[in-house]
Amino acid sequence: MIRARTLHPGIASGEPITLTAPLSFWGGTDEQGRIVDAHHPQCGTILAGRVLVMESGRGSSSASSVLAEQIRAHTAPAAIILARPDAIIALGALVAHELYGLATPVVVVGRPAYDDLPTDHPLRVTAGPLDATITW
């Protein structure tokens, strides 16, 4: 079990996908939840329903609206684990919760625990108002 800080509460589980570079949901993913940024090392990877593990997002305030729409359409990651806080990603989850009643957990795990997250087991993120746990 790894403890984390909650940016947006919720409970979700899924197969992890660890990105090797930051990603912007705006222009970086499509409506199916696939990475379409041709410059991203994991272009073509589907994020939908998986637990997304990445250092941080990569800008554009519009990314929050894209993430909110993917959450509504059930093509977003099931949960997002970050190494650094990202207000844009947290905002997307918050907007989706307020508009659509769908809770996608977004949490921050500091180092070295971030590097210890397994990549070969399903992860479960349980995020309360302040604190979260990640289990497998």
pLDDT tens digit string along 29-76? 999 999 999 999 999 999 999 999 999 998 778 999 999 999 999 999
Paired tokens of 87: 């207000």
Active-site position among 56, 60, 62, 65: 60
Mean pLDDT of the 91-114 span: 97
- pTM (predicted TM-score): 0.96
Burial group, residue 115, by CB count within 10 angstroms (0-12, 13-18, 19+): exposed
Cα angle for residues 61, 52, 87 (degrees, 5° grid): 30
60 is annotated as an active-site residue: yes
Q: pLDDT of 6-15, one tens digit each? A: 999 999 999 9
**What is the percent of the chain with per-residue pLDDT over 70, rounded to a whole number?**
100
**Contact between residue 42 and residue 20 where contact means Cβ atoms under 8 Å apart:** yes
